[in-house]
Structure 1
Amino acid sequence: MFLRLFKYLWPERYLPEPEQDDPFDEDPPPRGSGKTGVLLVNLGTPDTPGKQDIRKYLGEFLSDPRVIEIPRYLWKPILHGLVLTMRPRKLEPRYAGVWMKEGSPLMVYSQRQADGVRAALREAGIDAVVELGMRYGNPSIPDAIASLRRQGCERILTVPLYPQYAASTTATVVDAVTRHAARLRDQPELRFIKRFHEEPAYLDALAGRIERYWQEHGKPQKLVMSFHGLPRYSIELGDPYYRDCMDTARLLSQRLSLPREQIEVTFQSRFGTARWLEPYTEPTLKVLAAAGTTEVDVVCPGFVADCLETLEEISLECRDAFIGAGGRQFRYIPAINDDPAWIAGLAGLVERHLQGWPTHITDLKEKAHAP
């Protein structure tokens, strides 16, 4: 440590005698324009459905102060003494029940989205390196950025795969990217997509998924749009998430030409004892069944890739609650996942946000051969 300090204060005493001309006397080598990178980021997932990997994932996720907004000195004993002791054991069979042959559904579909965007951009004549990162778990955001940098990316567009903005989701991605960039000596240019809750291609892909499902299976009495929940105090502090969700619900309803009485907008995945956004999904389904609604379809517009919260909480737990309260038919409509319409729409969204950066293959070739 002291030697490093002396080298910093008096570097000339530790520099070897040059054996040839000082390279700093020469003109530096020319620098290329550099590549453009696209970083798609989703929430994350355990590496396996085993208890140890679930505990590791939850420990990282629930330690984020933007996710759990209570004082650290109060939350840490609860997290390590109760949540991480009991929760992984309960979640292990639930993760195992939705795990795909290729891995976690969230990972599988997110990777397919990244692969699809890469191919679509290339077909459109755009030279961009596309990588997938997870906010919590693997591949981490630092690892994904390091991969982009190794491939020569001087500019990086980060695309959080959350249609509706929330500080506990989108903002944490911005935090992680900028925190990593703060440690870099040679930083890339950075751009971020904040939200796409009103993006026509996203809404069209959602509406197309629902309409095709109904063409095959018929329409229900009610369509429930279930969004991920958020504590009410987050909205009271200025988070725009609730407004974004309601905008998405309104625009999606218009595309489906559904009257208001056929739609319910609810919020799922409540955690803890605080009051969250209401109405809650599972209790609403029970009320609907008790009031005589026998057929419901549920769609989750806030999730662009299926995961535990859609495939287990909605498709299984909420189904049991609805049927148990007297309902007869409950159907979960899958997320847009790797739907070709969504892949094309996501690629178009990325292309629009890359404008102004040298990304077209022909332009890059011309620059490379310029004198």
Structure 2
Amino acid sequence: SAPLYDAFAKWIPKQRNLPGLSIIRDYYQHPLYIQALAQSVRDFRAEHGGTEKLLMSFHGIPQPYADKGDPYADRCRITGQLVAAELGLAEDEWAISFQSRFGKQEWVKPYTDALLTEWAAQGVKSVQIMSPAFSADCLETLEELAIQNAELFLSQGGERYQYIPALNSRGDHLQLLNTLVQANLDALKQTLASKTN
């Protein structure tokens, strides 16, 4: 969402009549978000069975961003911990990682491809992977996670690799988004009502 903030910041100085603005900054630990993610895993496993490991892979950021105070990586870790707790997973049954790095600088770790390679070397045979940071599937989740990383894990000795789809248009995901928007609309209505009284 940072590019949207940047675009809005460039737009504001050109305006003479600014609208009210309410920004839903994030929802990385919202109970409905955690429940929807966990339920997507349960639903997938009910149809396809479980695996030795669940990997929650998030889009990465350069490590210097995190070093300068960007809270994104820490929030990803919190999301992962909350989803694992909601699912009742033991520590050795899940992990988080970061994908999509490019360039020569260090990015936040562990890297998804490196962790999958490490697990295969340790004898892990089955992995399910999801990408909680993506609300909808896209080229990155479908190509990088569902295809490229599957090929990597299987080529290193893994036997079963499954991608759990993003929340997409699941009813519980839409309920979360509706709840977030409605809370902001209710707050705006309350503010407007107090100004007119």
Q: TM-score, normalised by structure 1?
A: 0.50
- 2:52 aligns with 221
1:247 counterpart letter in structure 2: I
Q: Structure 1 residue 260 and structure 2 residue 85: aligned?
A: no
Kindly state the Cα deviation for residue 358 of structure 1 after the two structures are TM-superposed.
Answer: 3.1
1:324-339 paired onto structure 2 within 5 Å = 324-339=155-170
Kindly state the Cα deviation for residue 225 of structure 1 after the two structures are TM-superposed.
Answer: 0.7
- 1:299 aligns with 130
Which 4+ stretches in 1 moved above 6 angstroms?
none
- 1:186 aligns with 17
Match of 2:77 among 232, 235, 246: 246
Match of 2:43 among 169, 188, 212: 212
Kindly state the Cα deviation for residue 356 of structure 1 after the two structures are TM-superposed.
Answer: 3.1
Q: TM-score, normalised by structure 2?
A: 0.93
Contact 2:24-2:180 at 8 Å conserved across structures = no
- 1:276 aligns with 107
For 1:338 and 1:178, locate their aligned partners in 2 and report how far apart those are by CA, in whole Å.
31
- Give CA-to-partner distance per residue, 1:45-99, whole Å, 9 cap, x none: xxxxxxxxxxxxxxxxxxxxxxxxxxxxxxxxxxxxxxxxxxxxxxxxxxxxxxx
Contact 1:225-1:299 at 8 Å conserved across structures = yes
- 1:27 aligns with none
Kindly state the Cα deviation for residue 191 of structure 1 after the two structures are TM-superposed.
Answer: 1.4
Higher helix share: 2
Contact 1:201-1:346 at 8 Å conserved across structures = no
Match of 2:121 among 290, 296, 299: 290
Kindly state the Cα deviation for residue 224 of structure 1 after the two structures are TM-superposed.
Answer: 0.6
Q: Which has the larger radius of gyration?
A: 1
1:1-371 paired onto structure 2 within 5 Å = 170-358=1-189
For 1:182 and 1:206, locate their aligned partners in 2 and report how far apart those are by CA, in whole Å.
39
Sequence identity (%)? 36
Kindly state the Cα deviation for residue 186 of structure 1 after the two structures are TM-superposed.
Answer: 1.9
Contact 2:145-2:163 at 8 Å conserved across structures = yes
Contact 1:197-1:244 at 8 Å conserved across structures = yes
Kindly state the Cα deviation for residue 357 of structure 1 after the two structures are TM-superposed.
Answer: 2.2
Long gaps (5+) in structure 2: none
Contact 1:226-1:300 at 8 Å conserved across structures = yes
Kindly state the Cα deviation for residue 180 of structure 1 after the two structures are TM-superposed.
Answer: 1.9
SS of structure 1 residue aligned to 2:187: coil
Aligned pair count reads: 192
SS of structure 2 residue aligned to 1:191: coil
Kindly state the Cα deviation for residue 238 of structure 1 after the two structures are TM-superposed.
Answer: 0.8
Kindly state the Cα deviation for residue 212 of structure 1 after the two structures are TM-superposed.
Answer: 0.4
- Give CA-to-partner distance per residue, 1:218-242, whole Å, 9 cap, x none: 1100001101111111011111111
For 1:205 and 1:244, locate their aligned partners in 2 and report how far apart those are by CA, in whole Å.
17
**RCO higher in 1 or 2 (8 Å CA, sep ≥ 6)?**
2
Kindly state the Cα deviation for residue 345 of structure 1 after the two structures are TM-superposed.
Answer: 1.1
Contact 2:59-2:100 at 8 Å conserved across structures = yes
Long gaps (5+) in structure 1: 1-169
For 1:248 and 1:176, locate their aligned partners in 2 and report how far apart those are by CA, in whole Å.
28
For 2:180 and 2:25, locate their aligned partners in 1 and report how far apart those are by CA, in whole Å.
12
For 2:84 and 2:184, locate their aligned partners in 1 and report how far apart those are by CA, in whole Å.
27
- Give CA-to-partner distance per residue, 1:189-231, whole Å, 9 cap, x none: 1111111000111111111111000011111000011011111
Kindly state the Cα deviation for residue 185 of structure 1 after the two structures are TM-superposed.
Answer: 2.1
Q: CA RMSD, aligned part only?
A: 1.5
SS of structure 1 residue aligned to 2:102: coil
Contact 1:174-1:192 at 8 Å conserved across structures = no
SS of structure 1 residue aligned to 2:180: helix
